[in-house]
Amino acid sequence: MTQIVLVGLGGMIGSISRFLLSDFVQRLNPILGYPFGTLTVNVLGCFLIGLLNGLTDSQQLFIANIRPFLFIGVLGGFTTYSTFGYETFAFLRDGQYSQAFLIVGLHLFLGLGAVWLGDMVGRIG
């Protein structure tokens, strides 16, 4: 139960951070309406999950309950793209190239397809 509460608190922190940073970046750079705020949080989230994983693996930096708080809670709330980036990196690092390309392809095509389908369903009713 403690881990669930920690993940939930981390998610709140990550979501609020995503909102604030994305909004801040977007107001700084409103070029052609491109979502630089979203790009910023996704890339930063990927960097942070890689950094924290490297620190955890090389220096045993976090106790058991802190890793889910940071990785699933804070970074999951900040951006799930960071988790996707890490999982793809792990496949590549481990030489599982076909799994890496499959996960990228599935996320891209199924994700875009789900957005399209949701949009179509939303327009019907």
| Residue of 28 and 32 predicted with greater confidence | 28
pLDDT at 32: 63
pTM across the whole model: 0.75
Give the span between the Cα atoms of 106 and 108, in whole angstroms: 5
Q: Is the pLDDT of residue 11 over 80?
A: yes
- What is the reported pLDDT for 53? 84
Residue pair 76/14 in contact by the 8 Å Cβ criterion? yes
- The mean per-residue pLDDT over the stretch 80-91 comes to 87
Q: Give me the pLDDT at residue 118, please.
A: 82
Q: Which of 2-6, 35-39, 74-78, 121-125 has the lowest mean pLDDT?
A: 121-125
Residue ranges of the alpha helices (H) in the chain? Answer: 2-28, 36-59, 66-68, 75-78, 81-93, 97-124
